Amino acid sequence: MHSIKVAFIFFIGLYLYSCDTAGSSKVDSFNDSLILKWRLDSNTCIGYRNFQIGDSIIKKYKLVGTSIDNVKLVMGKPNYQSKGGDSQWILRYNISGCCPNIEGDPCILDMIFINGKFDSFGYTCV
């Protein structure tokens, strides 16, 4: 009888855990090649970072509306970070043309946070 109770509790716990993680955008950065390649190419010398990869990561992990800490967890350390106003922060990630050994126009992904939540993003090319 005791083993039936233990098994029942185990399955209830397993069910609740699966419900909690269903549709989750948690990052398994050790197994996601998209994230690994993104992080490895922070200076854009490898040529992997581009507009499409940036958009894909933002959509895949449903980053809009999440916290600045969550975005950093997914995207990695930004190349630049600045405070835009009382409640605004901007994270900037190099996209292309930032490698010192390769000529090109630098392009940056600007991620704008308002009140600690990811609000919008855009690209700037110089």
Write out pLDDT tens, residues 69-102: 999 999 999 999 999 888 999 999 999 888 888 8
126 pLDDT tier (thresholds 50, 70, 90): confident
The amino acid present at 61, given as its one-letter code, is Y
pTM over 0.85: no
Nearest residue to 107 (alpha-carbon basis) of 97, 117, 122: 97
The CB-based long-range contact list for 6-13 (8 Å cut-off, 24+ gap) reads none
What is the fold, at CATH topology level, of the domain defined by 28-125?
A: Beta-lactamase Inhibitory Protein; Chain:B, domain 1 (3.30.1450)
- 6 vs 60, which has greater pLDDT? 60
The predicted structure's pLDDT at residue 104: 82
Q: Where are the domains of the chain?
A: 28-125
Q: Residues 33-52: pLDDT tens digits?
A: 889 999 999 989 998 998 99
Phi-psi category of residue 33: left, alpha or beta, with phi > 0 → left and psi -120 to 50 → alpha: alpha
